[in-house]
Amino acid sequence: MTISVWRYSHLALAVSSFVFIVLAALTGIILAFEPVATKLPGYRVQEFEELNLAQTITVLKKQYPELIELSVDANQFVTVKGTDADGNDVQAYVNPRNGHILGVVQQQSEFFQWVTAFHRSLFLKETGRFFIGLTSFLLLLIAVSGTFLILQRQRGLKRFFGRIVKDNVAQYYHVVLGRLSLIPIILIAVTGTYLSVSRFGLLPDEKVQHNVDLDAIASEPEKPAADFPVFQATALAQVQTVEFPFSDFPEDYYTLKLKDRELVVNQFTGDILSEVPYPATTLFTNLSLDLHTGRGSIIWSIVLAIASGNILFFVYSGFVITWKRLSGRVKNKYSAAESQFILLVGSENGSTYHYANAVFRQLLQQGHKAYLANLNSYQAFPEASHFIILTATYGLGEAPTDAAKFVSQLEGVEQQQPVSFSVLGFGSYAYPDFCKFAFEVHQLLLNQRWASPLIDVHTVNDKSPEDFSRWAEAWSQQTGIVVGLSEDLAGAAPKALKTLTVTVNTPAGTDGHTFLLRLKARGRTKVKSGDLLGIYPANDHRERLYSVGVIGNEIQLSVRLYPNGLGSAFLHALAPGQQIRAKLLQNQHFHFPVKAPQVILISNGTGIAPFLGMIDENKQKTPVRLYCGFRESASVRIYSQFLEEQQKAGKLSELKVALSREGKKQYVCDLLQEDEQAMAQALEQGGVLMLCGSLAMQKDVLQLLDSACQKYLPHDISFYQSRSQVLMDCY
């Protein structure tokens, strides 16, 4: 819930101030180059820090009989105002070592004057100054709310600078650059606010005042300025200005404005007549000017320019993120009270809505009364027969904002008629609590008297269209209503279909169910074991996906033949030499690990398909153990010869087979249970476990691994999942 408070504050502040922020940032970038431009002439002498005021005043007095003022700017350029030996007025940059003139003092360029005036007041005088001051303050609040959002995203301070999961490009760079430029932006905002507050006289007015007893000023013992202890003790680098005495009367004195205090010094004796430290407000104003303008430091001005550039990027990427978030929402044609199909969505960044919309549109097109809302809008749906719940997971496996109230609302509202439900979780393996909230919702619904599951909970990793298609296929099979991947959602998938030629198609095995199909692509094809092959058996939108193993240079599918299965019947009927058009989809997260010290492959049924290819590809002979489950020994027979050869070739170190309907009647999980300590050890040593097969098996295996981790390891299974040591492709 708190995530939304910070998010809404961050957004509201940004929306209310973005025009001013853009103007201030644009002009800020230009102004950041002024210190660079002014520093370029280089009137600073070498080893400036070593000079003291006594040395400089002595040489200047020799060159310039009449001196009015000496000043040192932020670049440590020394300027002298006075008259030279010929009586000419001088106002120039001088060398503080010998008094020679180095250059003429230039006014600020007209261009920078114009930009500075615009940056400070937008040419709107006091009103503009007020708005710019307010903008600085809002920028500060945006930076603070942004910091809290990053803290929440990264799950705490410790991981503030940890790896950022690349969810979408705009969001990724919003966070990466946000972290990097956080400190400069906070400084820009704080100092800008302070300077405005000070400009509007809202700070205590503490002027420097000297109380000098003019009657008591002595004119003896007279000393040359070079011998004044105060001048000798004052480094030139500490000086802002020195005002020289106007006449030879003792009441006229030197006024020294240093960085932290002001001094009045007797012009004859060098005695300090008064010394007043600057009030805190003056010190802060000077510091704010240094930090806000970058005066005196080329490096800091470049940092300011980059930070201002980043502010412009944040405005752009912030709007892209918001647009994405909002663009998925739709208007309902039918009310909640009259709809049969209720789609409830839990989303933080809007992408889940795109999938929900696709299903929603297809249901409407087919004449069904469907209603789409967020999970927080859960209520009584008197006509509902189906709930479709699509929800993302955030935080520590928590509900997204749109769904934060769902759990409590579900407790309070009971549906009065039986409703079947299906939960589709959206998440990412990059997070330890993969789709946790979806599983929680599924479990909660299972406990409702009126609710019954239509299919098991499904998950979508990284918005994978393939995972979504799997759910759509399962849901469609149960309801007889065809929903699938709309064109826009499939956008990420390659559109071009490949022509593949059948080279081998075995009969439906000795078990009467499973067959192996080998296909060869024309030309070079980038495909790896674990990738997916999409076929279109009826030449329409209906896609069927199969996990592939690459053996030699051929693609091998292991297919279970269903009596009326659209995909399996189509594939089974293919004869060698026949060609099909199909789509190859990369399945990056499910490739054989390149560097793992050992790999454990776990499958049931035709889930063995990608592993056969991976074992064949294991040229480096990484130790591989295969645990596979089948119904009967007849189901294993089609793989036996291949697996024996691989063991002999050293590409498969160990093979364990569980048969659920013969002998000991074991499931693959029982085999794992026997070896649970070895599993835990493998994880501890950086080994990788890969699972392919049914979701039911996935659930059991994860449970078993979790308890093994608790027994033998310091971390739970989610720790290893987030480090890509547990890879899954189950359906």
Ligand X SMILES: Cc1cc2nc3c(=O)[nH]c(=O)nc-3n(C[C@H](O)[C@H](O)[C@H](O)COP(=O)(O)O)c2cc1C
* Residues lying near ligand X in the complex (CB under 6 A): 153, 167, 347-352, 392-394, 397, 400, 426-428, 431, 433-436, 463
Helix (H) or strand (E) holding 614: helix 609-617
Cα 358 to Cα 537, 543, 661: the distances in Å are 22, 15, 41
- Considering the complex, state which of residue 468 and residue 515 has its C-beta at the smaller distance from ligand X: 468
Angle at 197 between CA 192 and CA 198, to 5 degrees: 100
Over 54-114, what HEC string results?
HHHHHHHHHHCCEEEEEEECCCCCEEEEEECCCCCEEEEEECCCCCCEEEECCCCCHHHHH
- Considering the complex, state which of residue 234 and residue 374 has its C-beta at the smaller distance from ligand X: 374
- Considering the complex, state which of residue 3 and residue 273 has its C-beta at the smaller distance from ligand X: 3
Could you tell me the smallest distance in angstroms from the CB atom of residue 439 to ligand X? 10
- Considering the complex, state which of residue 394 and residue 627 has its C-beta at the smaller distance from ligand X: 394
Could you tell me the smallest distance in angstroms from the CB atom of residue 6 to ligand X? 12
Could you tell me the smallest distance in angstroms from the CB atom of residue 410 to ligand X? 20
Residues whose CB falls within 8 Å of the CB of residue 463, separated by 6 or more in sequence, listed in order: 351, 355, 426, 492
- Considering the complex, state which of residue 362 and residue 391 has its C-beta at the smaller distance from ligand X: 391
What is the separation of C-alpha 677 from the centre of its chain, rounded to a whole number of angstroms? Answer: 37
Could you tell me the smallest distance in angstroms from the CB atom of residue 495 to ligand X? 22
Amino acid found at 229: P
**Secondary structure class of 459 (helix, strand, coil):** strand
Could you tell me the smallest distance in angstroms from the CB atom of residue 346 to ligand X? 8
Cis geometry, peptide bond prior to residue 96 (ω within 30 degrees of 0): no
Could you tell me the smallest distance in angstroms from the CB atom of residue 642 to ligand X? 35
Give the dihedral sign, CA 70/71/72/78: negative
Cα 727 to Cα 124, 428, 434: the distances in Å are 61, 12, 12
What is the separation of C-alpha 156 from the centre of its chain, rounded to a whole number of angstroms? Answer: 14
- Considering the complex, state which of residue 256 and residue 438 has its C-beta at the smaller distance from ligand X: 438
CA–CA distance, 120 with 700 (Å, rounded to integer): 65
Place of tokens 């030449």: 539
Q: What is the DSSP string of 364-428?
A: HHTT--EEEEEGGG----TT--EEEEEEE-BTTTB--GGGTTHHHHHHH---SS-EEEEEEEEE-
- Considering the complex, state which of residue 231 and residue 720 has its C-beta at the smaller distance from ligand X: 720
Could you tell me the smallest distance in angstroms from the CB atom of residue 457 to ligand X? 13
Helix (H) or strand (E) holding 33: helix 2-39
- Considering the complex, state which of residue 51 and residue 435 has its C-beta at the smaller distance from ligand X: 435
- Considering the complex, state which of residue 152 and residue 503 has its C-beta at the smaller distance from ligand X: 152
Could you tell me the smallest distance in angstroms from the CB atom of residue 426 to ligand X? 4
Amino acid found at 300: W
Instruction: Give the CB-nearest residue to ligand X.
Output: 427
Q: Residue 52 half-sphere exposure, CB side, CA atoms within 13 Å?
A: 11
Cα 643 to Cα 286, 529, 547, 671: the distances in Å are 77, 16, 18, 18
- Considering the complex, state which of residue 10 and residue 436 has its C-beta at the smaller distance from ligand X: 436
Strands 272-277 and 514-521: unpaired
**Secondary structure class of 200 (helix, strand, coil):** coil
Could you tell me the smallest distance in angstroms from the CB atom of residue 331 to ligand X? 19
- Considering the complex, state which of residue 99 and residue 350 has its C-beta at the smaller distance from ligand X: 350
β-strand partners of 690: 601, 727
**Gyration radius (Cα) of the chain, Å:** 38
Could you tell me the smallest distance in angstroms from the CB atom of residue 344 to ligand X? 13
Could you tell me the smallest distance in angstroms from the CB atom of residue 436 to ligand X? 6
Rounded-to-10 torsion of CA 572, 575, 577, 578:
-60
- Considering the complex, state which of residue 254 and residue 426 has its C-beta at the smaller distance from ligand X: 426
- Considering the complex, state which of residue 39 and residue 354 has its C-beta at the smaller distance from ligand X: 354
**Secondary structure class of 258 (helix, strand, coil):** strand
- Considering the complex, state which of residue 435 and residue 455 has its C-beta at the smaller distance from ligand X: 435
Could you tell me the smallest distance in angstroms from the CB atom of residue 593 to ligand X? 21
Could you tell me the smallest distance in angstroms from the CB atom of residue 430 to ligand X? 7
Could you tell me the smallest distance in angstroms from the CB atom of residue 397 to ligand X? 5
Could you tell me the smallest distance in angstroms from the CB atom of residue 324 to ligand X? 8
Q: Are the beta carbons of 692 and 730 closer than 8 angstroms? A: yes
Residues whose CB falls within 8 Å of the CB of residue 244, separated by 6 or more in sequence, listed in order: 67, 68, 69, 70, 82, 254
- Considering the complex, state which of residue 73 and residue 167 has its C-beta at the smaller distance from ligand X: 167
